[in-house]
Amino acid sequence: MTLVQLRHFVVLADVGSFVQASAALFLTQPALTRSIHGLEGELGGALFDRLGRRIALTPFGHEVLARARRLVSDAEALKQAGKGLHAGLIGTLRVGLSSAPGALLSTPLMLHMAEHHPRLQVQISRGNTAVLLNELRDQHLDAAIVDIRDMRPSAELQVDLAFELGAGFLARRGHPLAQQGRPVTLDEVMAYPVASTPLSDEVARLLIARYGPQANPDDMVTLRCDETLSIVDVARRSNAIVLTVNALAADLIRLDVSPNLEATARFGLVTLAHRQEAPALRILREQLPHWIEAFLSGFSRVAAEKT
């Protein structure tokens, strides 16, 4: 059994066709067939069911695929590590960003790589926390920055570089509730459309504890979208009120809601535990604290100017 055979197997499983896999691997179809047959012989079982011109993984094939992916991925990571970490780093960095981190970090990450590591390929995937963590487990991502309060405990995931950002109910400067000159109630807030990204169970419990059952996000939120910048833009252009991270909308007014929400969003860098990291990930680790500090400083400055 060789890494080449395992790579052939992984590619064939991904595309589901000997013809397409042969083209992707720059092999003849008979050569790929021999490689797969040889691997099946060594492993002692069929990896694919042949259904006419179609193929499908056998139950045994599904079991083998997860391990084969890890071996092929680790071999690729080792090869990249051997090229060294230097200013002209080459290779690929695959990062998943959930809604708020994506709005905050996508541009700084791409700008930094374009300016300092132009030969490095950066792939940013956007999605909700659950989707991104599944992609990380399947080793389609090298790391993910997500809402760690929305994570279930898992021995296979490692979280570090955690950071918190204040969050609250935000509205445009000319919003009727921003003109009250006094704290407003949740009933007054809910008289307007409330926009939010999907909220974690922990945030939902906090809202209900502060304001009662009416604050259950399933009932309170009328505009729900995975893209933070979209719901912030809606609040800029209408009387909708957005519940989100303050730093993402420094031009909006934070409503003084009674009782005070005192909420924070907690994010972190998530990687696979006990697995060799992609070499380029150290760049993200080095820069992330600086980017967060810059956002917080910029938000504080804009908030001070508004007052």
The CATH number of the domain covering residues in 91-163+267-306: 3.40.190.10
Identify the CA nearest to 73 among candidates 46, 94, 51, 44: 94
Mean per-residue pLDDT, 106-119 = 92
| Mean pLDDT of the 122-138 span | 93
The letter for the amino acid at 181 is G
Share of the chain above pLDDT 70, in %: 93
Rounded to an integer, the average pLDDT of 281-303 is 80
The pLDDT mean for the chain works out to 88
Structure tokens at 225: 């979208």
The reported pLDDT for the residue numbered 149 is: 86
pLDDT digits 0-9 by tens, 49-68: 987 778 899 999 999 998 99
CATH 1.10.10.10 in the chain: give the residue spans: 3-82
Residues of the chain with CATH 3.40.190.10: 91-163+267-306
> CA 146, CA 128: separation in Å to the nearest integer?
8
Is pLDDT above 60 for 85?
no
pLDDT tens track for 253-268: 999 999 998 888 899 9
pLDDT: which is higher, 105 or 86: 105
Residue with the two structure tokens 């992330």: 288
CATH pick for 3-82 out of 1.10.1240.10, 3.40.50.460, 1.10.10.10, 1.10.357.10: 1.10.10.10
CB within 8 Å of 101: residues ≥ 6 apart: 145, 146, 267
pLDDT at 222: 96
The pLDDT-based confidence of 86 (bands split at 50, 70, 90) is very low
Kindly tell me if the per-residue pLDDT of 307 is higher than 70.
no
119 pLDDT higher than 50? yes
* CA-to-CA separations, 6 to 9, 40, 272, in angstroms, rounded: 5, 11, 21
If pLDDT is split at 50, 70 and 90, which confidence band does 89 have? low
Confidence of residue 88 (pLDDT cuts 50, 70, 90): very low
pLDDT at residue 252, as a whole number? 94
DSSP letter string, 82-113: HT--STT--EEEEEEE-HHHHHHHHHHHHHHH
Residues of the chain with CATH 3.40.190.290: 164-265
Tens of pLDDT, residue by residue over 5-44, are 999 999 999 998 889 999 999 999 999 999 999 999 999 9
Distance in angstroms (rounded) separating the CA atoms of residues 99 and 271: 18
pLDDT digits (tens, 9 = 90+) for 160-208: 999 998 899 999 999 999 988 899 999 999 999 999 998 888 889 999 9
CA distance to 149, 233, 288, per residue, from 162 (Å): 11, 27, 10
pLDDT at 87 over 90: no
Compute the CA torsion angle 83, 86, 91, 94 (nearest 10 deg).
130
For residue 287, what pLDDT is reported? 94
The topology (CATH level 3) of 164-265 is: D-Maltodextrin-Binding Protein; domain 2 (3.40.190)
Does residue 304 register a pLDDT over 60? no
pTM of the model: 0.68
Residue 117 has pLDDT above 70, yes or no: yes
**Which of the 8 DSSP states describes residue 138?**
T
Q: Is the pLDDT of residue 227 over 50?
A: yes
Predicted pLDDT at 57: 92
Alpha carbon distance 139, 135 (integer Å): 6
Among 262, 251, 229, 242, smallest CA distance to 298 is for 251
CA geometry: angle 75, 79, 83, nearest 5 deg: 165
Question: Number of helices and strands (H, E) in the chain?
Answer: 11, 11
How much is the average pLDDT of 85-108? 82
